[in-house]
Chains A and B, each alone.
Chain A
Amino acid sequence: MENPENVIEVRNLEIDFHTYAGEVKAIRDVSFDLRKGETLAIVGESGSGKSVTTRSLMGLLAPNAEIKKGSIMFHGEDIIKKSEKDMQHIRGKDIAMIFQDPMTSLDPTMRIGMQIAEPLMKHKGLKKKEAVAQALEMLKLVGITDPEARINDYPYQFSGGMRQRIVIAIALVCYPEVLIADEPTTALDVTIQAQILDLMKDLQNRIDTSIIFITHDLGVVAGMADRVAVMYAGKIVEYGTVDEIFFNPQHPYTWGLLNSMPTLDTASGSLRAIPGTPPDLLDPPTGDAFAARSDYAMKIDTEKQPPFFKVSDTHYAATWLLHPDAPKVTPPAEIVRRQKKFAEMQKPEAPFAHTASKE
């Protein structure tokens, strides 16, 4: 491990999918770290490779996937090199996962108590009785009312929000070091979404786990994450702390994402979606993949991949706009506003800096 603070270190990950049309280059040189106890959000449009990245951490890639390059270090060992048997001891115990759709994530024919107890029996070697007893504790923890009565119910007897709580209980029952939440609230309606997010934050504090939080909705990131990685077309294009990404974004794609996000202080008229569609990963463009959709594209963007330019110790962005020789451009008005706010926040004497990060 390069840094003892890190739980997971992903380096230069490249993943292809074999399809009849050719090789889909889904992940193209992705590197990131996950620190102890932090929440790292991965945001990006649909198809940008968020799920594939996280599935590779679990060793749960589709059979047509091939890891071309890179390493995923966990406890000083490369997960990619581990056998399926070894992975089974990591999954659900050290790294757990919550899926998008709670309506289909639970086995319809098994009592939920048993479903929560299963990882305990597998990883902690508990007898069924003890495991179910712990499952009951977990049910209480995730806020199921009257857990004693409901532990023997089947999934269809619960609402979507309740089911997602049960899925969370399953994921956390072994107190994993890392929790991967792949759009855990996308399938839920807004009020339930907030409850589930609160629950996750609360549980994170109690059982001290690192979370990788995947979403395409920047709105939920602000209250949830410590750091954010922005993905586009199989690459991370910018990463930094929540404040840095929200208030001092550098990559035109991040600008676009923020611009398309409704916030309380956005003038409702300035909201706009990013035009165009992501590139075809069968044949990714040579330069900056976002160039074709960017108003700020330069000639070099079509020729060379931009490297990561350092913005601060914690903030990097892969865009040629940060090259010292590049002309200075003016970001969209909304971004300029955010950057101004950021500058104020940076002033040490600011009386109460408004931060969007976790307390």
Chain B
Amino acid sequence: MADNLKDIEIKPGDFEPLDKTAGPDNERIAAPSLTFGQDVWRRLKSNKTAFTSFIVLVLMFLIAFGGQAVYHHDPNAQEPKYANLPPKIPGVGLHGLNGHLNQSGKDVDVYAAAGAGKDVHYILGTDYLGRDLLARIMYGTRISLEIALIATLIDLTIGVGFGILSGWKGGRVDLFMQRVIEILSSIPQLVVMVLMATAFTKTGMASIIAAIAITGWTTMARLTRAQTLQLKNQDFILAARTLGESAPKIAWKHLLPNLSSVIIIQTMFTIPSAIFFEAFLSYIGIGISSPQASLGTLISDGQKNFQFLPYQMWYPAIVLIILMLAFNLLGDGMRDAFDPKSKR
């Protein structure tokens, strides 16, 4: 490996001592340094699935909560003579969207058969009472989302509060609170929900929300507690304590921001679970009752006609599945994005 010295070309001045002040700064860090929030956002954006889910969710919320401002159809207006009409979009000739149906082998213009005029069309068809399905699905999605969001909010408040308290107090309080969680989580969630929903069946939406919130918070409480226990003894918390800051203030100013990633990720999984349970309870008939609609009741209604008019169930089911998918995928993406281990 001896090099031939003659091959090395030396210029005069090459062996001058290096002026360090002018030299290149090698302590510059080349990888751009990002704040935690920026880093999470960057990774979320780079995760195509999670980002798509996010966009899909935004669209679903816009349609569910703002759709009625554009699409002025009363979700509860019954038009018995137009019952069970298939989807019809003006100008579209595609079978399945042109108001025609295959009835015992014959192609029938159902709209004409029902005596509907040229100007009558329902984009997603009508249900068995002649209600506009699109309007009902938008309305049902809104109710489902409202229930899920409120339930999640309550679930979050109880869970985080319980978790912080348990973790922060430690000792006997913690022990007792842990037992409570242990006992609660060995009761099947479904059982509590069914009980709550049957016991307070008159209150409708409120009882479902209560049923979902009461059973869901234990996971959140467990996660927050574990995190609080870790944080409790870290320097910045100890410093705040020695400075005499009050416990609630410490919890609000120091604990919560550090718990936020855990809370956000868990929320992303609580929401779809709440959506599922709402649909489940409504489907078996102890949730939302008519004339209110939710995705669960729409699926249950649609099921009755599934053999002949499958779209009546397919549409609300697809909306439900998309919501569940999007929340779960976003949750997965968030978990990866928040996890510093999975740096890519």
Contact = CB atoms under 8 A, between A and B. Distances in A.
- Are these two chains actual partners, yes or no? yes
30 contacts: A19-B344, A277-B26, A279-B26, A280-B28, A280-B29, A280-B31, A282-B30, A282-B31, A283-B30, A285-B24, A285-B26, A291-B18, A297-B20, A297-B23, A298-B14, A298-B15, A299-B15, A300-B15, A301-B18, A302-B23, A302-B24, A303-B14, A307-B8, A308-B2, A308-B3, A320-B15, A323-B5, A323-B8, A323-B10, A327-B15
A22 B23 CA distance: 24
Interface in A239-297: 276-277, 279-280, 282-283, 285, 291-293, 296-297
Given A277-B26, A308-B3, A316-B2, 15 more contacts: A19-B344, A20-B46, A21-B30, A280-B28, A280-B30, A283-B30, A285-B24, A297-B18, A297-B20, A298-B14, A298-B17, A303-B14, A323-B5, A324-B5, A325-B15
A280 B1 contact: no
User: Secondary structure at chain B's binding surface: helix, strand, loop or mixed?
Assistant: loop
A298 B30 contact: no
Nearest to A294: B18
Contacts of A309: 3
A302 B18 contact: yes
B13 interface: yes
A161 B191 CA distance: 52
Given A20-B344, A316-B1, A323-B8, A299 B16 contact: yes
A298 B18 contact: yes
B97 to A, nearest CB: 45
B22 to A, nearest CB: 10
A298 B2 contact: no
Interface in A291-345: 291-293, 296-304, 307-310, 316, 320, 323-327
Contact of A297 (B17, B25, B343): B17
Contacts of A302: 18, 23-24
Contacts of B10: 300, 323, 325
Given A299-B16, A299-B18, A323-B5, A21 B26 contact: no
Contacts of B46: 20
A100 interface: no
B27 interface: yes
A276 B26 contact: yes
A234 B344 CA distance: 22
Nearest to B343: A20
Contact of B1 (A21, A31, A296, A299): A31
Nearest to B13: A299
B14 A299 contact: yes
Interface of A: 19-22, 31, 276-277, 279-280, 282-283, 285, 291-293, 296-304, 307-310, 316, 320, 323-327
A15 to B, nearest CB: 18
A292 B16 contact: no
Contacts of B8: 304, 307, 323
A189 B27 CA distance: 33
Report, as a range, how many residues of chain B touch the other chain.
20 to 34
Q: Kindly name the residue among A20, A22, A277 whose own CB sees the greatest number of chain B CB atoms within 10 A.
A: A20
A260 B198 CA distance: 75
B30 to A, nearest CB: 5
A302 B14 CA distance: 10
| Top 3 closest pairs, chain A to chain B, by CB | A300-B14, A292-B26, A307-B3
A21 B31 contact: yes
B15 A276 contact: no
B38 to A, nearest CB: 14
A300 B23 CA distance: 12
A8 to B, nearest CB: 16
Contacts of B3: 307-309
Nearest to A303: B14
A292 B26 CA distance: 7
Contacts of A19: 344
A310 B31 contact: no
Interface in B221-256: none
B27 A277 contact: yes
A55 B26 CA distance: 28
Interface in B291-344: 343-344
A280 B16 CA distance: 25
B26 to A, nearest CB: 4
Contact of A292 (B2, B24, B30): B24
A299 B15 CA distance: 6
A62 to B, nearest CB: 12
Contact of B23 (A279, A292, A307): A292
Contacts of B30: 21-22, 280, 282-283
Contacts of B24: 285, 292, 302
A296 B2 CA distance: 23
A299 B13 CA distance: 7
Interface string B59-100: 000000000000000000000000000000000000000000
